[in-house]
Chains A and B, each alone.
Chain A
Amino acid sequence: MQVSVPRMTALSSTDAQQGGPGHHAAASRSTWLRDWADVVPAANGTVWLERDALGDATPALLAPAGTDTPWAPRTVPAASRSACTAFLDGIQRSRVCAWVRGVPIIESVVGATVRMRRDRRFVDGGTHARRLVLAPSACVPEAVHAHMARAGVEFVPVEVSAEDSHPDVARAAAMALVSAARATLERQLAEEWLRTAGADHRLVLDGGLGISETVATSRQVIGVVKSHGTLYASGTAREVVFGLRPGERTTVAPHRRGVRGPEVATWYLRLRAPLGGDPLFGLVRVEQAIAGGAGETEARADEWAAWLLLERQPVALPDPRWDRLLYGVAACERYLTARLGY
Chain B
Amino acid sequence: MTAPPSSPLSVEAIGRVVATERRPNTPHEFHFWTALDAIVGVGTIVRVVGQLPIAGQIPVIYGVVVEGVAYTDVQSPLHDVLGADGDPAADARAPSTRTEIRLFTAHVLRQVPDEPLQPVPMGAVFLADARDVAIALRMDGYVDGERSTAIPVGLYAAGGTRAPVALDADFLVGPEAAHLSISGVSGLATKTSAVEWLLASLFAHFPAHRGSLAAVCFNVKGPDLCFLDQPAPLDDADRVLYEALDVPARPFERVRYFAPYVAGGVTLDTLRSHEALQHNVAPLTWGLSEVLQFADVLLTRDDVDAKADALIDFIRERVLHRDFEDGLLAQPHRVESFADLDAWFRDVLRAMEGRNQESWRTHHIATIRKVRNRLTNIATRCAGLITEDGATSDLPFGAFEDRTVYVVDVAGAEDDAQDLVFARIVSKLREHLERRDLGVQHVVVFVDELNKYAPADGPDTYVRKMLLDIAERGRYLGLVLFGAQQFRSQVHRRIVGNAGTTLYGRMDGDELATPGYATLGPAVRARLATLEKGQLMVRHPHYAQPVFVRFPRPAVLSGRAGVEQFPPVTPPTLDVAIARQLHALDPAVTAGWVQRVLGWDGTSAALYEEPAIVRALRATVRARPDDVRGTFERELRRGARAPVRDVAVAVRPAPLARAPRGDPYGD
Hey, which bits of chain A sit against chain B, CB under 8 A?
81-82, 84, 117, 120-122, 310-315, 317-318, 327-328, 331, 334
Provide the bound-state CA to CA distance between A314 and B75, in Å: 13
Residue of A with least CB distance to B85: A313
Chain A residues near B99: list those with CB within 8 A. 122, 331, 334
Assembly CA distance A253 to B75 (angstroms): 39
| Candidates B82, B94, B95; contact of A317 at CB < 8 Å | B82
A312 surroundings in chain B (CB, below 8 A): 83
Complex alpha-carbon distance, A327 and B72, angstroms: 13
Complex Cα spacing A164 to B74, Å: 49
B74, B80, B96 — most chain A CB neighbours (10 Å): B96
| B79 and A317 form a contact (CB under 8 A) | yes
B-chain residues with CB within 8 Å of residue A334 when the two chains form the complex? 73, 99
**Residues from 90 to 146 in B contacting A, C-beta threshold 8 Å:** 90-91, 93-99
B83 contact set on A, CB distance < 8 A: 312-315, 317
Chain B: CB-nearest residue to A87: B96
Instruction: List 9 A-B residue pairs with CB atoms under 8 Å apart, sorted by A's residue number.
Output: A82-B95, A84-B95, A120-B95, A121-B97, A313-B95, A313-B96, A318-B75, A331-B99, A334-B73
Q: Cα distance A321–B23 when bound, in Å? A: 30
A81 to B91, CA, bound (A): 13
The distance in angstroms between the C-alpha atoms of A185 and B93, with both chains bound, is 33
A313 touches B93 (CB 8 A): yes
In the bound complex, residues from chain B placing their C-beta under 8 Å from that of A82 are 95
Q: Is the interface of B mostly helix, strand, loop or mixed?
A: loop
The 3 nearest A-B residue pairs measured at CB: A315-B83, A313-B94, A317-B79
Interface magnitude class on chain B: 10 to 19
Name A's interface SS: loop
B96 touches A117 (CB 8 A): yes
**Closest residue of chain A to B82, judged by CB?**
A315
Q: B93: which of A117, A122, A310 is its contact (CB, 8 Å)?
A: A310
Task: Tell me the smallest distance from the CB of A245 to a CB of chain B, in Å.
Answer: 15
Docked-complex contact B82 and A331, CB < 8 angstroms:
no
CB A14 to nearest CB in B, in angstroms, measures 17
The chain B residue sitting closest to A313, CB to CB, is: B94
Contact present for B74 and A317 (CB under 8 Å): yes
Residues on A with beta carbons closer than 8 Å to the beta carbon of B98: 314, 327
CB distance from B492 to the nearest CB of A (A): 54
User: In the complex, what's the smallest C-beta–C-beta distance from A275 to chain B, in angstroms?
Assistant: 11
Which B466-483 residues have C-beta < 8 A from chain A?
A: none
Q: Evaluate contact between A313 and B91: CB separation under 8 angstroms.
A: yes
Contacting pair A318 B79 (CB below 8 A): yes
Report yes or no: A121 in contact with B96, Cβ–Cβ below 8 A: yes
Contact yes or no, A314 B96, CB < 8 A = yes
The answer to whether B76 has its CB under 8 Å from any CB of chain A is: yes
A313-B90, A314-B74, A334-B73 known; A81-B79 Cβ under 8 A: no
Most buried by A among B83, B84, B90, B91: B83
Question: Which residues does chain B contribute within 8 Å of A311, judged by CB atoms?
Answer: 95-96
Residues from chain A with a CB closer than 8 A to the CB of B84 are 313, 315
Counting chain A CB atoms within 10 Å of each CB, the highest count among B80, B84, B91, B97 belongs to: B97
Complex Cα distance A23/B79, Å? 31
Alpha-carbon separation in the docked complex, A172 to B251 (Å)? 87
Residues of chain A within 8 A of B94, CB atoms compared: 120, 310, 313-314
Closest B residue to A327 by beta carbon equals B96
Across the interface, which residues of B come within 8 angstroms of A318, CB to CB? 75-76, 79
- CB-CB < 8 A to B74: which residues of A? 314, 317
Partner of A120, one of B76, B79, B96: B96
Cβ contacts under 8 Å, B95 to chain A: 81-82, 84, 117, 120, 310-311, 313
| A231 → chain B closest CB, angstroms | 27
Residues B79 and A328 in contact, CB atoms below 8 Å apart: no
Q: How close is B296's CB to chain A, nearest CB, in angstroms? A: 72
Known: A117-B95, A315-B80; 17 extra A-B contacts, CB below 8 A, are A82-B95, A120-B94, A122-B99, A310-B93, A311-B95, A313-B83, A313-B94, A313-B95, A314-B83, A314-B91, A314-B97, A314-B98, A315-B82, A315-B83, A317-B75, A327-B96, A334-B99
Set of chain A residues within 8 Å of B91, measured between Cβ atoms = 313-314
Q: Report the minimal beta-carbon distance from A174 to chain B, rounded to whole angstroms.
A: 32
The answer to whether B76 touches A122 (Cβ under 8 A) is: no
A327 to B80 Cα, complex, angstroms: 12
Residue of B nearest to A120 (CB): B97
Residue of chain A at shortest CB distance from B79: A317
Distance in angstroms between the alpha carbons of A312 and B96 in the assembled complex? 10
A315 touches B96 (CB 8 A): no
Which single residue of chain B is at the shortest CB-CB distance from A330?
B73
By a CB distance below 8 angstroms, the chain A residues around B96 are 117, 120-122, 311, 313-314, 327-328, 331
Q: Are A315 and B79 interface neighbours, CB within 8 A? A: yes
Q: Which residue of A lies closest to B99 (CB)?
A: A331
* Assembly CA distance A81 to B95 (angstroms): 7
Minimum CB–CB distance from B78 to chain A (whole Å) comes to: 9
A68 to B533, CA, bound (A): 79
A85 to chain B, nearest CB (A): 9
User: B259-282 interface mask toward A, CB cutoff 8 Å, 1 = contact, 0 = none?
Assistant: 000000000000000000000000
